[in-house]
Amino acid sequence: MPYLQISNVSKSFGTFQALKDVSLEIEEGKFVCFLGPSGCGKTTLLRAIAGLDIQTSGRILQGGRDISALPSSQRDFGIVFQSYALFPNLSIADNIGYGLKNSGKSRKEVAARVAELTELVGLKGQERKYPSQLSGGQQQRVALARAIAMAPGLLLLDEPLSALDARVRLHLRSELKSLQRRIGVTTIMVTHDQAEALAIADQLVVMNQGVIEQVGTPQEVYRNPKTAFVADFVGHMNFLRAEVVGEGNVQVGGLILAAETGGLPAGEIVSLCFRPEDIQVRGIAAGNKNTIEVRIEEMEFLGTFYRADLALNGPTSPRVMADFSMNAARDLALEPGKIIPIAMPADRLRLFGEKRG
Protein backbone atom coordinates (compact mmCIF):
# COMPACT_ATOMS: atom_id res chain seq x y z
CA MET A 1 0.00 0.00 0.00
CA PRO A 2 1.44 3.39 -0.95
CA TYR A 3 2.50 5.72 1.88
CA LEU A 4 0.85 8.78 0.40
CA GLN A 5 -2.34 8.50 -1.62
CA ILE A 6 -3.68 11.56 -3.37
CA SER A 7 -7.02 11.02 -5.07
CA ASN A 8 -8.94 13.44 -7.26
CA VAL A 9 -7.54 16.55 -5.60
CA SER A 10 -8.72 19.88 -7.02
CA LYS A 11 -7.98 23.35 -5.76
CA SER A 12 -9.50 26.62 -6.93
CA PHE A 13 -8.60 30.16 -6.01
CA GLY A 14 -11.71 32.05 -6.98
CA THR A 15 -12.33 31.16 -10.61
CA PHE A 16 -8.75 29.99 -11.20
CA GLN A 17 -8.27 26.24 -10.99
CA ALA A 18 -4.77 25.59 -9.70
CA LEU A 19 -5.19 21.81 -9.48
CA LYS A 20 -7.54 19.80 -11.65
CA ASP A 21 -8.50 16.36 -10.37
CA VAL A 22 -4.98 15.25 -9.50
CA SER A 23 -4.33 11.66 -8.37
CA LEU A 24 -0.97 10.26 -7.32
CA GLU A 25 0.51 7.49 -5.23
CA ILE A 26 3.89 7.69 -3.50
CA GLU A 27 5.71 4.71 -2.03
CA GLU A 28 7.37 4.88 1.36
CA GLY A 29 11.02 5.99 1.41
CA LYS A 30 10.98 7.38 -2.12
CA PHE A 31 12.44 10.71 -3.19
CA VAL A 32 9.80 12.32 -5.41
CA CYS A 33 10.16 15.53 -7.40
CA PHE A 34 7.22 17.67 -8.51
CA LEU A 35 8.56 19.27 -11.66
CA GLY A 36 6.97 21.91 -13.82
CA PRO A 37 7.04 25.53 -14.92
CA SER A 38 5.88 28.24 -12.52
CA GLY A 39 2.13 28.26 -12.10
CA CYS A 40 1.77 24.55 -12.93
CA GLY A 41 0.33 23.72 -9.51
CA LYS A 42 3.32 21.91 -8.01
CA THR A 43 3.61 24.18 -4.98
CA THR A 44 -0.17 24.20 -4.56
CA LEU A 45 -0.12 20.40 -4.39
CA LEU A 46 2.72 20.48 -1.84
CA ARG A 47 0.85 23.00 0.30
CA ALA A 48 -2.27 20.86 0.13
CA ILE A 49 -0.27 17.87 1.37
CA ALA A 50 1.09 20.03 4.21
CA GLY A 51 -2.37 21.37 5.05
CA LEU A 52 -1.21 24.95 4.51
CA ASP A 53 -3.75 25.55 1.73
CA ILE A 54 -6.25 22.75 1.95
CA GLN A 55 -7.65 21.47 -1.35
CA THR A 56 -11.17 22.35 -2.46
CA SER A 57 -12.06 18.69 -3.06
CA GLY A 58 -10.37 15.29 -3.15
CA ARG A 59 -8.75 13.07 -0.51
CA ILE A 60 -5.22 12.74 0.79
CA LEU A 61 -4.21 9.66 2.80
CA GLN A 62 -0.87 9.47 4.60
CA GLY A 63 0.11 6.08 6.03
CA GLY A 64 -3.50 4.99 5.72
CA ARG A 65 -4.78 7.99 7.73
CA ASP A 66 -7.16 10.39 6.01
CA ILE A 67 -5.55 13.81 6.50
CA SER A 68 -7.65 15.62 3.89
CA ALA A 69 -9.21 18.15 6.24
CA LEU A 70 -6.67 18.26 9.07
CA PRO A 71 -4.85 21.48 9.99
CA SER A 72 -1.06 21.45 9.53
CA SER A 73 -0.44 21.06 13.24
CA GLN A 74 -2.18 17.66 13.22
CA ARG A 75 -0.27 16.28 10.23
CA ASP A 76 3.06 14.52 10.24
CA PHE A 77 5.62 16.32 8.11
CA GLY A 78 8.74 18.45 8.18
CA ILE A 79 9.16 21.27 5.71
CA VAL A 80 11.91 23.40 4.17
CA PHE A 81 10.85 26.56 2.38
CA GLN A 82 12.67 28.41 -0.37
CA SER A 83 13.27 31.23 2.11
CA TYR A 84 14.23 28.67 4.80
CA ALA A 85 12.14 30.65 7.34
CA LEU A 86 14.86 30.30 9.98
CA PHE A 87 14.13 32.15 13.21
CA PRO A 88 16.63 35.02 13.04
CA ASN A 89 16.76 35.61 16.79
CA LEU A 90 17.53 32.01 17.74
CA SER A 91 20.89 30.31 17.54
CA ILE A 92 21.44 27.43 15.15
CA ALA A 93 21.04 24.94 18.01
CA ASP A 94 17.80 26.60 19.15
CA ASN A 95 16.48 26.63 15.59
CA ILE A 96 17.14 22.93 15.16
CA GLY A 97 15.79 22.09 18.61
CA TYR A 98 12.75 24.37 18.29
CA GLY A 99 10.20 21.58 18.01
CA LEU A 100 12.07 19.15 20.28
CA LYS A 101 11.96 21.50 23.25
CA ASN A 102 8.23 21.65 23.00
CA SER A 103 7.72 17.90 22.72
CA GLY A 104 8.33 17.15 26.39
CA LYS A 105 11.86 15.84 25.97
CA SER A 106 14.39 16.53 28.69
CA ARG A 107 17.09 19.13 28.20
CA LYS A 108 19.67 16.38 27.84
CA GLU A 109 17.72 14.48 25.21
CA VAL A 110 17.17 17.65 23.22
CA ALA A 111 20.86 18.55 23.38
CA ALA A 112 21.88 15.06 22.29
CA ARG A 113 19.48 15.08 19.34
CA VAL A 114 20.58 18.56 18.28
CA ALA A 115 24.22 17.48 18.42
CA GLU A 116 23.38 14.43 16.32
CA LEU A 117 21.57 16.55 13.74
CA THR A 118 24.25 19.24 13.46
CA GLU A 119 26.75 16.46 12.90
CA LEU A 120 24.48 14.88 10.29
CA VAL A 121 24.19 18.05 8.20
CA GLY A 122 27.84 18.98 8.71
CA LEU A 123 27.40 22.06 10.88
CA LYS A 124 29.28 20.89 13.97
CA GLY A 125 30.87 23.84 15.76
CA GLN A 126 28.40 26.36 14.38
CA GLU A 127 25.66 25.70 16.96
CA ARG A 128 25.93 29.00 18.76
CA LYS A 129 25.91 31.21 15.68
CA TYR A 130 22.83 33.00 14.38
CA PRO A 131 21.33 32.42 10.93
CA SER A 132 22.51 35.78 9.55
CA GLN A 133 26.10 34.73 10.27
CA LEU A 134 25.86 31.68 8.00
CA SER A 135 26.14 31.36 4.24
CA GLY A 136 23.10 30.50 2.16
CA GLY A 137 24.14 26.87 1.88
CA GLN A 138 24.66 26.57 5.63
CA GLN A 139 21.28 28.16 6.30
CA GLN A 140 19.72 25.61 4.02
CA ARG A 141 21.27 22.80 6.07
CA VAL A 142 19.94 24.30 9.29
CA ALA A 143 16.46 24.42 7.78
CA LEU A 144 16.86 20.79 6.73
CA ALA A 145 18.06 19.70 10.16
CA ARG A 146 15.15 21.49 11.79
CA ALA A 147 12.70 19.83 9.40
CA ILE A 148 13.91 16.30 10.16
CA ALA A 149 14.50 16.88 13.90
CA MET A 150 11.14 15.42 14.92
CA ALA A 151 11.67 12.40 12.65
CA PRO A 152 8.61 13.16 10.52
CA GLY A 153 7.08 10.58 8.22
CA LEU A 154 7.20 12.97 5.29
CA LEU A 155 9.75 15.59 4.31
CA LEU A 156 8.50 18.44 2.09
CA LEU A 157 10.98 20.64 0.24
CA ASP A 158 9.69 23.72 -1.56
CA GLU A 159 12.35 24.80 -4.07
CA PRO A 160 15.00 24.40 -1.36
CA LEU A 161 17.98 24.94 -3.63
CA SER A 162 16.81 27.75 -5.87
CA ALA A 163 18.11 30.57 -3.65
CA LEU A 164 21.68 29.28 -3.87
CA ASP A 165 24.34 29.90 -6.47
CA ALA A 166 25.03 27.22 -9.04
CA ARG A 167 28.11 25.61 -7.51
CA VAL A 168 26.66 25.31 -4.00
CA ARG A 169 23.45 24.03 -5.52
CA LEU A 170 25.17 21.13 -7.27
CA HIS A 171 27.01 20.21 -4.11
CA LEU A 172 23.97 20.38 -1.82
CA ARG A 173 21.87 18.48 -4.31
CA SER A 174 23.97 15.35 -3.94
CA GLU A 175 24.22 15.80 -0.19
CA LEU A 176 20.48 16.11 0.06
CA LYS A 177 20.05 12.89 -1.86
CA SER A 178 22.52 10.91 0.24
CA LEU A 179 21.04 12.28 3.47
CA GLN A 180 17.59 11.19 2.34
CA ARG A 181 18.95 7.71 1.54
CA ARG A 182 20.50 7.45 4.98
CA ILE A 183 17.45 8.40 7.00
CA GLY A 184 15.01 6.87 4.53
CA VAL A 185 12.27 9.46 4.94
CA THR A 186 9.68 9.75 2.19
CA THR A 187 10.53 13.06 0.52
CA ILE A 188 8.74 15.38 -1.89
CA MET A 189 10.69 18.18 -3.49
CA VAL A 190 9.15 20.90 -5.63
CA THR A 191 11.39 22.29 -8.34
CA HIS A 192 11.26 23.98 -11.72
CA ASP A 193 14.80 22.89 -12.56
CA GLN A 194 14.59 19.76 -14.69
CA ALA A 195 18.31 18.97 -14.41
CA GLU A 196 18.00 19.03 -10.63
CA ALA A 197 14.90 16.85 -10.72
CA LEU A 198 16.51 14.32 -13.06
CA ALA A 199 19.61 14.08 -10.88
CA ILE A 200 17.94 13.69 -7.53
CA ALA A 201 14.56 11.96 -7.89
CA ASP A 202 13.57 8.32 -7.61
CA GLN A 203 10.27 9.31 -9.13
CA LEU A 204 9.41 12.34 -11.25
CA VAL A 205 5.97 13.92 -11.33
CA VAL A 206 5.81 16.34 -14.26
CA MET A 207 3.01 18.87 -13.92
CA ASN A 208 1.53 21.48 -16.21
CA GLN A 209 -1.48 23.76 -15.84
CA GLY A 210 -2.86 22.00 -12.81
CA VAL A 211 -2.64 18.42 -14.10
CA ILE A 212 -0.04 15.66 -13.89
CA GLU A 213 1.43 15.06 -17.33
CA GLN A 214 3.59 12.07 -16.48
CA VAL A 215 4.84 10.04 -13.55
CA GLY A 216 7.92 7.82 -13.78
CA THR A 217 11.59 7.35 -13.02
CA PRO A 218 13.86 10.06 -14.45
CA GLN A 219 15.06 7.61 -17.12
CA GLU A 220 11.53 6.71 -18.18
CA VAL A 221 10.43 10.30 -18.38
CA TYR A 222 13.52 11.34 -20.29
CA ARG A 223 13.48 8.45 -22.73
CA ASN A 224 9.77 8.08 -23.22
CA PRO A 225 8.00 11.36 -22.67
CA LYS A 226 4.29 10.69 -22.83
CA THR A 227 3.23 14.12 -23.99
CA ALA A 228 4.71 16.86 -26.12
CA PHE A 229 4.83 19.06 -23.03
CA VAL A 230 7.00 16.59 -21.12
CA ALA A 231 9.19 16.06 -24.16
CA ASP A 232 9.75 19.79 -24.38
CA PHE A 233 10.12 20.52 -20.67
CA VAL A 234 12.45 17.69 -19.65
CA GLY A 235 15.78 17.90 -21.43
CA HIS A 236 16.27 19.48 -24.86
CA MET A 237 14.14 18.43 -27.78
CA ASN A 238 13.78 19.16 -31.47
CA PHE A 239 10.24 19.61 -32.74
CA LEU A 240 9.44 19.35 -36.45
CA ARG A 241 6.07 19.55 -38.12
CA ALA A 242 5.52 16.32 -40.04
CA GLU A 243 2.84 14.38 -41.86
CA VAL A 244 2.19 10.66 -41.59
CA VAL A 245 2.54 9.13 -45.06
CA GLY A 246 1.79 5.51 -44.31
CA GLU A 247 2.64 2.83 -41.78
CA GLY A 248 6.11 3.58 -40.34
CA ASN A 249 6.84 6.67 -42.43
CA VAL A 250 6.54 10.42 -41.99
CA GLN A 251 7.34 13.29 -44.26
CA VAL A 252 9.22 16.39 -43.11
CA GLY A 253 9.61 19.05 -45.77
CA GLY A 254 10.78 16.99 -48.72
CA LEU A 255 12.22 14.15 -46.63
CA ILE A 256 10.67 10.80 -45.88
CA LEU A 257 11.81 9.39 -42.51
CA ALA A 258 11.13 6.05 -40.90
CA ALA A 259 9.45 6.37 -37.49
CA GLU A 260 7.13 4.41 -35.24
CA THR A 261 3.72 5.74 -36.31
CA GLY A 262 1.75 3.62 -33.85
CA GLY A 263 -1.43 3.33 -35.89
CA LEU A 264 -1.75 7.00 -36.81
CA PRO A 265 -3.60 7.29 -40.12
CA ALA A 266 -1.88 8.64 -43.22
CA GLY A 267 -2.42 12.39 -43.68
CA GLU A 268 -2.32 13.08 -39.93
CA ILE A 269 -0.24 16.17 -39.04
CA VAL A 270 2.11 15.40 -36.14
CA SER A 271 5.06 16.77 -34.19
CA LEU A 272 8.21 14.80 -34.82
CA CYS A 273 10.53 14.92 -31.81
CA PHE A 274 14.08 13.83 -31.14
CA ARG A 275 16.80 14.85 -28.73
CA PRO A 276 19.91 16.70 -29.93
CA GLU A 277 22.19 13.97 -28.52
CA ASP A 278 20.39 11.24 -30.49
CA ILE A 279 21.66 12.52 -33.82
CA GLN A 280 24.52 10.34 -35.02
CA VAL A 281 27.49 11.54 -37.03
CA ARG A 282 29.88 8.62 -36.74
CA GLY A 283 29.80 5.23 -38.43
CA ILE A 284 27.15 6.07 -40.98
CA ALA A 285 27.00 3.71 -43.93
CA ALA A 286 25.52 5.02 -47.18
CA GLY A 287 22.47 2.76 -47.17
CA ASN A 288 21.39 3.36 -43.54
CA LYS A 289 17.83 4.35 -42.90
CA ASN A 290 17.08 7.97 -42.03
CA THR A 291 20.44 9.16 -43.23
CA ILE A 292 20.46 12.63 -44.72
CA GLU A 293 22.93 15.29 -45.68
CA VAL A 294 22.80 18.48 -43.66
CA ARG A 295 24.69 21.72 -43.55
CA ILE A 296 26.18 22.95 -40.24
CA GLU A 297 24.97 26.51 -39.85
CA GLU A 298 26.35 27.37 -36.42
CA MET A 299 28.25 25.67 -33.62
CA GLU A 300 28.07 26.76 -30.01
CA PHE A 301 30.83 25.64 -27.68
CA LEU A 302 29.32 24.45 -24.39
CA GLY A 303 32.39 23.16 -22.58
CA THR A 304 32.02 19.39 -22.81
CA PHE A 305 30.29 19.32 -26.19
CA TYR A 306 29.19 21.41 -29.16
CA ARG A 307 25.58 22.26 -29.85
CA ALA A 308 25.19 22.64 -33.57
CA ASP A 309 22.45 24.21 -35.61
CA LEU A 310 21.76 22.10 -38.70
CA ALA A 311 19.84 22.96 -41.86
CA LEU A 312 18.14 19.77 -43.09
CA ASN A 313 17.95 20.64 -46.78
CA GLY A 314 18.78 24.06 -48.07
CA PRO A 315 19.09 27.32 -46.14
CA THR A 316 15.31 27.88 -45.82
CA SER A 317 14.57 24.42 -44.44
CA PRO A 318 13.74 23.75 -40.77
CA ARG A 319 16.68 23.84 -38.39
CA VAL A 320 17.45 21.21 -35.79
CA MET A 321 19.77 21.14 -32.79
CA ALA A 322 22.36 18.41 -32.53
CA ASP A 323 24.95 17.74 -29.83
CA PHE A 324 28.38 16.61 -31.01
CA SER A 325 31.00 15.35 -28.60
CA MET A 326 34.38 17.03 -28.58
CA ASN A 327 35.91 13.86 -30.01
CA ALA A 328 33.50 13.66 -32.92
CA ALA A 329 33.93 17.35 -33.69
CA ARG A 330 37.69 16.95 -33.75
CA ASP A 331 37.83 13.65 -35.66
CA LEU A 332 35.38 14.74 -38.34
CA ALA A 333 36.68 18.35 -38.42
CA LEU A 334 33.18 19.69 -37.99
CA GLU A 335 32.77 23.39 -38.57
CA PRO A 336 30.12 25.81 -39.74
CA GLY A 337 29.45 25.65 -43.48
CA LYS A 338 30.41 22.00 -43.77
CA ILE A 339 27.97 19.52 -45.28
CA ILE A 340 27.84 16.20 -43.43
CA PRO A 341 25.72 13.08 -43.38
CA ILE A 342 23.76 12.40 -40.19
CA ALA A 343 21.51 9.57 -39.07
CA MET A 344 18.35 9.85 -37.03
CA PRO A 345 17.67 6.38 -35.55
CA ALA A 346 14.02 5.50 -36.08
CA ASP A 347 13.63 4.18 -32.51
CA ARG A 348 14.62 7.60 -31.14
CA LEU A 349 12.02 9.53 -33.13
CA ARG A 350 8.72 10.20 -31.39
CA LEU A 351 5.46 11.49 -32.76
CA PHE A 352 2.87 13.57 -30.92
CA GLY A 353 -0.50 14.73 -32.19
CA GLU A 354 -0.24 18.33 -33.39
CA LYS A 355 -1.63 20.07 -30.33
CA ARG A 356 1.15 22.21 -28.99
CA GLY A 357 1.22 25.69 -30.41
Partner 1 sequence: MADTFAFDLAPPQAKEPAKIRPIVSREEWGMRAGLGLLALYLAVTIAIPLFMLLRKSVEDADGSFIGLANFHRYFADPALSLSFQNSFFISILGTAITLWLAFWYAYAITRSCMPARGLFKALALIPLLAPSLLPGLALVYLFGNQGIFKSVLMGQSIYGPIGIITGEVFFAFPHAVMIITTALAMADQRLYEAADALRAGPVRTFFTVTLPGCRYGVMSAGFVIFTLIFTDFGVPKVIGGSYDVLATDIYQQVIGQFNFQMGAVIGLLLLAPTVLSFAADRITTRRQQSMVSARAVPLEPKPRRAVDRACFAFCLVIAVFLLGVMGMAAFGSVVKFWPYNLSLTLMHYDFGKLGTDGWNPFWNSLKLSAFTAVFGTAIVFAGAYLVEKIRGFGIARSAVHLLAMLPLATPGLVLGLSYIFFFNSPDNPLNFLYATLTILVICTITHFYTVCHLTAVTALKQLDAEFEAVSASLKVPVWRTFLRVTVPVCLPAILDIAIYYFVNAMTTVSAVIFIYTGSTKLMAINALNTDDAGNSAAACAMGMTIVVTCALVRGLHALAGRTFLARHQAWRRRSA
Q: Among 23, 89, 174, 217, which residue sits at the site for partner 1 (rule: CB under 8 A)?
A: 89
Tell me the closest approach of the beta carbon of residue 102 to partner 1, in angstroms: 5
CA 305 – CA 55 distance, rounded (Å)? 45
Tally Cβ neighbours within 10 Å of residue 287. 6
Q: Among 23, 103, 174, 327, which residue sits at the site for partner 1 (rule: CB under 8 A)?
A: 103
CA 298 – CA 245 distance, rounded (Å)? 31
CA 165 – CA 350 distance, rounded (Å)? 35
Q: Which is nearer to partner 1, 2 or 152 (CB)?
A: 152
> Of 320-349, which residues contact partner 1 (CB under 8 A)?
none
Q: Among 5, 17, 56, 227, which residue sits at the site for partner 1 (rule: CB under 8 A)?
A: 56
Residues 6+ apart with CB under 8 A from 113: 97, 100, 105, 149
Closest CA to 69 of 61, 78, 77: 61
Q: Does residue number 174 form part of the binding site for partner 1 (CB under 8 A)?
A: no
Tell me the closest approach of the beta carbon of residue 21 to partner 1, in angstroms: 8
Q: Does residue number 192 form part of the binding site for partner 1 (CB under 8 A)?
A: no
Q: Among 22, 33, 46, 54, which residue sits at the site for partner 1 (rule: CB under 8 A)?
A: 54
Q: Among 24, 149, 197, 205, which residue sits at the site for partner 1 (rule: CB under 8 A)?
A: 149
Q: Among 37, 65, 83, 262, which residue sits at the site for partner 1 (rule: CB under 8 A)?
A: 83
Of the candidate spans 94-102, 195-203, 230-238, 337-345, the one that interacts with partner 1 by CB under 8 A turns out to be 94-102
Q: Does residue number 132 form part of the binding site for partner 1 (CB under 8 A)?
A: yes
The DSSP annotation for 44-105 comes to: HHHHHHHTSS--SEEEEEETTEE-TT--GGGS--EEE-TT----TTS-HHHHHTHHHHHTT-
Tell me the closest approach of the beta carbon of residue 22 to partner 1, in angstroms: 12
Amino acid at 137: G
φ, ψ (nearest 5 deg) of residue 342? -130, 160
Q: Does residue number 14 form part of the binding site for partner 1 (CB under 8 A)?
A: no
Tell me the closest approach of the beta carbon of residue 71 to partner 1, in angstroms: 4
Q: Does residue number 283 form part of the binding site for partner 1 (CB under 8 A)?
A: no
Closest CA to 29 of 177, 147, 175, 162: 177
Amino acid at 167: R
CA 341 – CA 120 distance, rounded (Å)? 54
CA 13 – CA 142 distance, rounded (Å)? 33
Q: Does residue number 74 form part of the binding site for partner 1 (CB under 8 A)?
A: yes
Of the candidate spans 141-149, 219-227, 262-270, 314-322, the one that interacts with partner 1 by CB under 8 A turns out to be 141-149
Q: Which residues bind partner 1 (CB under 8 A)?
A: 8, 10, 21, 50-52, 54-58, 68-75, 77-79, 81, 83-91, 98-99, 102-103, 129-133, 146-147, 149-150, 152
